[in-house]
Structure 1
Amino acid sequence: MSAAPTPADARSGARTAAVPARHAVVTEAPTAAGTAREISSYWTSARMRAALPIEQLVDGLTRSLGPGRSAEHAARARTRPRQVRAPRSTGKLFFRVDGADAVCTASAINTKKRNQVITAGHCVHTGPDVGLLQQPHFYSDWVYVPRYRNGHAPYGKWVANNAYAFNGWIEHEAFRFDQAIISFKRHGRHRLVDVTGGNDVVWGKPQREWGVRIWGWPAEDPFDGETAKRCDGRTVPFHDSADASMHACALTGGASGGPWFLPRGRTANSGRIWAVTSRRVLERPVLLARPIPSEIRRMIRAANR
């Protein structure tokens, strides 16, 4: 289902608007009910293959161009998703949403604890608009599978320990704050980044960048979520919003939370992440993300105490 930005998002996303201090507050998810063994055992290959993109379970994660906009976005359509070997430091993120199995994309990051990933805020929390019958809440039972492919976990299944989201997302669905960090338990004696390598997180970048590389595990038609895909190209501002966009990048649901890498310092397995996939446009293959805000430093500190 398509959705225009909310008024709260428009206010918080405006370049000249002051960001309420409350939006930058970081909230930690409740402690998991199950043990690490129980959660890991739940995520069998069959369940991982059958899990649905979060976009199919939660409204508002796609955007409509509105009347007369489709032709404008058909221009300069040269970026296509490519199927290539994913970096070790990226992977598929599985979690439970009100009894359903869901997926996003995530990437390991270089932090003090060396056991964390960055993903989208909407891959850890519902946001405020969940209807009359539910309360806003965190999801549960996250498992991260680096370089997932066809039901296999070549670097293991990592069970979450904690998850962190901004109140700007939790209370206002402000896409400026659509980022989250998840911490994971050790796998045997090993920490995540020691096994897969990690990426640097950078903030405050402009919407217009050249040589950007985006990774994701798209799981909606024409993709099945079983292999990673990537787009390469430049990013530009999306109309008059604070979104950065890559045109003709046809990654579909399941790619949410995937990394946007800058060209400088990028290797086959790591790089510098300046945004994570937030939404896509329905009428044309356009992927959207907000450049990571400076408030991410607060989240990193909270997750590494």
Structure 2
Amino acid sequence: MAQRLRAVLVASALMSCAVLQDAYALDATAPPPASAGVGPLFGDDGHFCTASVVHSPDRSLIVTAAHCLADGDEVSFAPGYRDGRAPYGFWEVERVFADAAWRDGEDEDHDLAFATVRPRDGRRIEDVTGAGPLATDGRAGREVTVTGYPSAEEAPRVCTATPTAFHGTQQRIACPGFSTGTSGSPWVDAGGRITGVLGGYQEGGDSPDVSYSVLLDGRAAALYREATRTP
């Protein structure tokens, strides 16, 4: 699945001002849809991974795969992105949190990262899009919905299925078409909790039709605590 390589834009229109300037007209009285907190990560060459807003005390946190944020490049997040429009704005990634086992050895069992994003216009991202709580009980086997943005497409792919355990430390799911760019896609259960993040084995898998995630267990909980600790 690809995930560290940046995809070339499918069409030159994606680099036009219409794409790079977001539509940030919000109705503060209307609750955001459930999908509002999921979107692609953008770098210099277009969108290359997926992330989602996760509930945090500071209301400024997103979660994705660690390999998506490994290069230290300037990255922005566009929740709710579709067809060249970012209705909730582009949010600049500020600080990345990844486990030392990933930073030092790219251990696929720690392919998980959190990142803070800077406020926009005095608002924090969770107040704009909503957020899903993180589930860290380390369980596979419950039905989830996976939402991800292939780099070659301008709208998300959505799949609902039940993951199975893989090697005791990860989980996998059969969802067609989750190709390059879908790394970091959240796996969300019926209660709205984030129970997985596409990544792990082979940085998400070696087929676009079977995807992987680390089990979100005590290791994920410890990383979350680090990311939400007041500096």
Give TM-score, length-normalised by structure 1.
0.61
Show the counterpart of 2:51: 106
Deviations, residues 152-173 of structure 1 (Å, cap 9, x unaligned):
1101111122111111111122
Larger radius of gyration, structure 1 or 2? 1
Show the counterpart of 2:187: 260
For residue 160 of structure 1, give the secondary structure of its aligned residue in structure 2.
Answer: strand
Question: Does the aligned pair in 1 maintain the 2:59–2:127 contact within 8 Å?
Answer: yes
Question: Does the aligned pair in 1 maintain the 2:15–2:46 contact within 8 Å?
Answer: no
Query: Cα distance, 1:146 vs. partner?
Result: 0.6
For residue 162 of structure 2, give the secondary structure of its aligned residue in structure 1.
Answer: strand
Deviations, residues 207-257 of structure 1 (Å, cap 9, x unaligned):
3x23211110012xxxx320011111111124x463311124331110000
Aligned mates of 1:49, 1:236 — CA distance in 2: 41
Pick aligned residue for 1:122 from 67, 80, 93:
67
Question: Does the aligned pair in 2 maintain the 1:49–1:226 contact within 8 Å?
Answer: no
Aligned mates of 1:47, 1:91 — CA distance in 2: 19
How does 1:164-183 map onto structure 2 within 5 Å?
A: 164-183=97-116
1:237/1:49 CA distance change after superposition, 3 Å:
farther
Show the counterpart of 1:199: 132
Unaligned runs of 5+ residues in structure 1 are: 3-43, 51-84, 126-137, 266-270
Query: Cα distance, 1:178 vs. partner?
Result: 0.6
Pick aligned residue for 1:231 from 159, 172, 188:
159
Letter in 1 for 2:156: A
Unaligned runs of 5+ residues in structure 2 are: 3-12, 20-32
The yes-or-no answer on 1:281 pairing with 2:206 is yes
1:118/1:218 CA distance change after superposition, 3 Å:
same
Question: Does the aligned pair in 1 maintain the 2:112–2:214 contact within 8 Å?
Answer: no
Deviations, residues 52-107 of structure 1 (Å, cap 9, x unaligned):
xxxxxxxxxxxxxxxxxxxxxxxxxxxxxxxxx970011111135xxx55510000
For residue 281 of structure 1, give the secondary structure of its aligned residue in structure 2.
Answer: coil
Show the counterpart of 2:25: none
Aligned mates of 1:160, 1:294 — CA distance in 2: 25
Letter in 2 for 1:247: A
1:120/1:201 CA distance change after superposition, 3 Å:
same
1:194/1:49 CA distance change after superposition, 3 Å:
same
Pick aligned residue for 1:46 from 15, 28, 38:
15
Give TM-score, length-normalised by structure 2.
0.79
1:217/1:101 CA distance change after superposition, 3 Å:
closer
Aligned CA-pair RMSD: 2.5
Show the counterpart of 1:296: 220
Question: Between Structure 1 and Structure 2, how many residues are aligned?
Answer: 202
Question: Does the aligned pair in 2 maintain the 1:48–1:94 contact within 8 Å?
Answer: no
